[in-house]
Amino acid sequence: MRKQATQRNVRAGAYGDPATVPIEVWQALYGDGCDWSTGTRGAGYTHMWQTCDPAYMAYLMASVDTVAEQLQATAMGWRTYRVDVDGDGLQTGEIMCPEYTTNGKVTCDNCLLCGGNRAAAKNIVIPPIAGKAVCYVETAKAPGEIYKAIQAGNVPTVAPVTMGRYLAGLEPDSRYETAIVWRGPSPVDGEAIMLVVTGASPLASKQSHNAKTGPMVQTWILVEKMLPIMAVMSGADRSVCGSCKFRPLTVKTAKAAA
């Protein structure tokens, strides 16, 4: 009898905004609308909540920076993830991220409160880092190594529904450490982008060692034409990050203009 894999949890957007990838891809990865009844769980965030398809609400949190934005997003049907830059404290319907209330004992992998509307929970708040909101995604080493492996031809392509079955524990443990699960045009500017899954292998040595997220399967949305750090420096990361005001080049430009 073949061994069934353990169901895995997914971090949507370790790099890039998940709303730049078609909703159908996420539905396939999470198992919704496919051929199984209990899908994979996860956590994810989008700064594109004002303009993206409302279907993303099922999987993603609206990433907001003010109480006014939080009220707007919840009125639209989103659950929210707010960085309390203004020091407003918890508002009605909000709780502090468990990572901060447990001194890091709770990780995203064993919390899963940031799973959009699929998670029946209150809205989440975190304190700002050094008193300000910043970009929380990995922009250099990890996505750079992934991109180089792809350019070297060392990363296979796996259909989203196939990967979704692995992650849901409906197939033998995935033999893939890293796989491309989608390629297509960015909804922001039409540039070629891709979604890459890492840590899909059951081997602990190949899973994510991110202390904050725990051993979640990570997903990365990359610009196809250049190394991620170069995309960040040149502003080409707009293809996968949209108009997020925390993009490094945007922050640098704003500081120079101040």
For residue 121, the cross-strand partners are none
User: What pLDDT is attached to residue 181?
Assistant: 98
**Is the per-residue pLDDT at 212 higher than 90?**
no
The answer to whether 27 and 57 have CB atoms below 8 angstroms apart is no
What is the rounded average pLDDT of the residues 106-116?
Answer: 94
Give the mean pLDDT of the chain: 88
Res. 4: pLDDT tops 70: no
Q: How far apart, in whole angstroms, are the C-alpha atoms of residue 52 and residue 202?
A: 33
- How far is residue 216 from each of residues 107, 133, 191, 209, measured CA to CA in Å? 10, 24, 28, 9
Percent of the chain with pLDDT over 90: 65
Calculate the CA dihedral of residues 7, 39, 102, 86 and round it to 10 degrees.
Answer: 140
In terms of pLDDT, which residue wins out, 16 or 141?
16
**Smallest Cα–Cα separation from 126: which of 194, 189, 207, 64?**
64
- Which residue did the predictor score with more confidence, 4 or 218? 218
DSSP assignment of the chain: -PPPPPP--EEEEEES-GGGS-HHHHHHHHTTTTT-SS---EEEEES-TTTS-GGGGGT-EEEESSHHHHHHHHHHT--EEEE-TT---PPTTEEE-HHHHTTT-S-HHHH-TTSGGGS---EEEEPPBTTB----S--SHHHHHHHHHHHTT---B--HHHHHHHHTT-SSPP--SEEEEEEEE-TTT--EEEEEEE--SS-GGGS---TTT-SPEEEEEEETTS-HHHHHHHTTTHHHHTT-TTSHHHHHHHHHH-
Does the model's pTM come out above 0.85?
Answer: yes
Which has more confidence, 239 or 243? 239
pLDDT of residue 107: 93
Closest Cα to residue 83, out of 103, 69, 98?
69
Per residue in 98-107, pLDDT (tens digit) is 999 999 899 9
Give pLDDT, residue 2: 39
pLDDT tens digits along 16-58: 999 999 999 999 999 875 655 567 889 999 999 999 999 999 9
78 or 170, higher pLDDT: 78
pLDDT at 3 over 60: no
Lowest mean per-residue pLDDT among 87-96, 108-117, 138-147? 138-147
Give the model's pLDDT for residue 251: 72
Averaged over 103-118, what is the pLDDT?
Answer: 93
Query: What integer is the mean pLDDT of 98-124?
Result: 94
* Maximum C-alpha span of the chain: 65
10 Å CB burial of residue 19 (0-12, 13-18, 19+) is buried
Question: What is the mean predicted confidence (pLDDT) over 151-173?
Answer: 89
pLDDT at 189 over 50: yes
